[in-house]
Amino acid sequence: MTKPKLPGKPPPKGAQKARPEPPPKPKDDLAEVERALSVLDGHHPEHERARREVTEAMAKKRVLVESAVVVSTRALRKRIAIGSAAAVATGLVAYLVWGRHAHAVALERALAGPTATFEARGFSPVSTGEGRLEEAIEPGCYVVVGPAEGDTKLELEHGGETLTGERSIGWCACTPEKASVRGASALRMLRVDGKTIGNVDGLGAVEPRPATLSQRSEDCAAEQLDAWLGERKLAAAPVDPAPLEASPALEPLRRAGFSVVATLPPGPSFALIDGGGESCFVAWSEDPADALTLRLSGGARPIVSEKGGIAWCSETPRLVTLWRQGRGAVTVARAQAARVAGLLGLKERVQRGVVFPSFTAWVAAEDLAWDATQALRGSAISEATVAITGTQIESTGGGDPRLVAISMLQGGSLVADRRGDIAYFCHPKLDSGALAATCAQLGPQIWRQTGALGSVGVAQAPLPFWLTVFAEVKDPDLARSLVALLILARRLQGDGFEPTTLAGVVEEQSGVSVTGRGGDDAVVAVGLGPKAPWVFPYSDGTEWQLAGEPRIVDLKPGERVVLSSVQPPTVPKEQRRTVVFRRGGRK
């Protein structure tokens, strides 16, 4: 009976089985072949195996190298592809940048000339564009320019005004506003301070000026124009004496000593007249259709769009501008106010000579009394004094005022105090709307302003030395003859004559003999007597009337001429007085 195995107890050593033998290695036929080939070829038995292993290793290496080349090639191709894409993108960007730059250069080249034109007057670029500009602009003066060549049409909208033109448009603004500009191609807006350029009037006054200018009136325009003019930025007007010297119709002005001080040629709209004081000015255009305007500092225009001749007189130097609507050349001439007897004498001269088809004259309110004084002094009366000026209501008394000159503005009026029943006569008549007149009265009396205060100037004087023969005459008819004598004296003094009485004059029974004085070349003689007809125009044979053309008698120094009157004197020669107006020799 077999004894059972105890659990967990190993069997006896004798009873254990032997370990199995490892399986035999498989026979390597390739190795045997390689040994055989090595032995047959006379090589080491391992020669063929080593050669094979080397060949296999080289094959593996080649595969690895080829794989690396493929990977490297793929990476290179990828990098090239990426680089090419980047290059294309960079090129595209560069092309776009270059194109934009080239376009900007083309715009700048197209606008360079027009921009430089206005930069010379102080303008600076504000914005540049193509086809359209929209800008919110500050106060100032602006110019928008288009290209120098090609389509240069422009359209501007600003502050409720629309302007169209070519090449350039100029305007000014006193307040912020929006400006919209349209054009066919390149556009540029430039700006300058309004005082620098004189607002739109100064902008258009001198070259270079915009081809089209705004016509809108700005609140700040007058102030800015005055600032510009005050700095003398407007060049002095040229002087061309030919228009005054060549026209026979202007002979009355030449005789009165007028000389050209400024010429406004075609093109500019106005000229600056920096006139001296104690002077009268006359302006006219070669084209009668042109309209002239006189502008004062501050913007006042006392003469507006008048055709024909215009004139003004001023006691003090006054900076004015003369404006023209039209294309004719305008001439401005000046003379001493006392020589032409102020505006009154100037009007008489122009009307008598039919110098202009129409004539408009002006004097400032503050110069009215001065102008009246010039009317008397220009009538060969040296002792003229002011009687009414400004808001003064009544004339001042004193002395023995027998001659009165009046200068008024529209709205002014004047009356004589008739309580003393003083006879007087005025020409032109004050109730006819005349704004300037001279009067003769047979005694002192008070004159009063009855219209707008400050609109009347009055001067008065006693009888001058050459009229003292009438001092005691009380006949009311004398006043008319005295005024006629003043008119004659204004005319002759303006022509270069001056009154004399005693020197070289001998009263004859029926006339007078006159001897030529050194430096003189002609005389006009008038006999005066204390009885009607008061005045006896003397002549060497040709009759003339006091209201007509005076007889000018040529008389060299030392020569003697006997003159007589068609109407013989009515008083003895001892009671007569002859006034001889002598003219200095003309060169």
* Mean pLDDT in residue range 296-300: 89
Residue pLDDT, tens place only, 5-14: 445 555 555 5
The predicted model scores a pTM of 0.77
Q: Flag whether pLDDT at 497 surpasses 90.
A: yes
For the chain, percent of residues with pLDDT exceeding 90: 62
Distance CA 280, CA 313 (A): 4
Mean pLDDT (whole number) for 309-323: 94
- The model's pLDDT over 331-357, given as tens digits with 9 standing for 90+, comes to 999 999 999 999 999 999 999 988 998
CA–CA separation, 426 and 483 (whole Å): 7
Strands (E), 245-384: 259-264, 270-275, 279-285, 291-296, 303-307, 309-314, 318-325, 330-336, 359-363
* Cβ neighbour number for residue 190 with a 10 Å cutoff: 25
Least confident of 37-41, 419-423, 561-565: 37-41
Task: Please tell me whether residue 571 adopts helix, strand or coil conformation.
Answer: coil
Contact 357, 290 (CB under 8 A): no
* Confidence at residue 587, expressed as pLDDT on a 0 to 100 scale: 46
The predicted model gives 432-461 an average pLDDT of: 93
CA distance 518 to 234: 47
Cis peptide before 428 (omega within 30 of 0): yes
Q: Whose CA is closest to 382, among 275, 553, 520, 498?
A: 498
The 10 Å Cβ neighbour count of residue 338 is 22
Helix ranges (H only) for 354-423 are 368-377
| pLDDT of res. 294 | 96
Mean pLDDT estimate for the chain: 87
Look at residue 103 in the predicted model and tell me its pLDDT: 63
Please spell the DSSP secondary structure of 51-105, one letter per residue: HHHHHHHHHHHHHHHHHHHHHHHHHHHHHHHHHHHHHHHHHHHHHHHHHHHHHHH
pLDDT, mean of residues 289-305: 94
Task: Write the Ramachandran bin of 159: left for phi over 0, alpha for psi from -120 to 50, otherwise beta.
Answer: left
pLDDT score recorded for residue 78: 77
The phi, psi pair for 2, rounded to 5°, reads -85, 140
Per-residue pLDDT at 97: 57
Residue 568 confidence (pLDDT): 79
Instruction: Kindly tell me if the per-residue pLDDT of 18 is higher than 70.
Output: no
Q: Would the pLDDT of 394 be above 90?
A: yes
Instruction: State how far the Cα of 552 lies from the Cα of 538, in Å rounded to an integer.
Output: 10
Classify 227 as helix, strand or coil. Answer: helix
Q: Is the per-residue pLDDT at 571 higher than 90?
A: no
Other Cβ atoms closer than 10 A to 581: 24
Contacts of 88-97 spanning 24+ positions with Cβ under 8 A: none
Cβ pair 200, 158 in contact under 8 A: no
Q: Give SS3 for 138.
A: coil
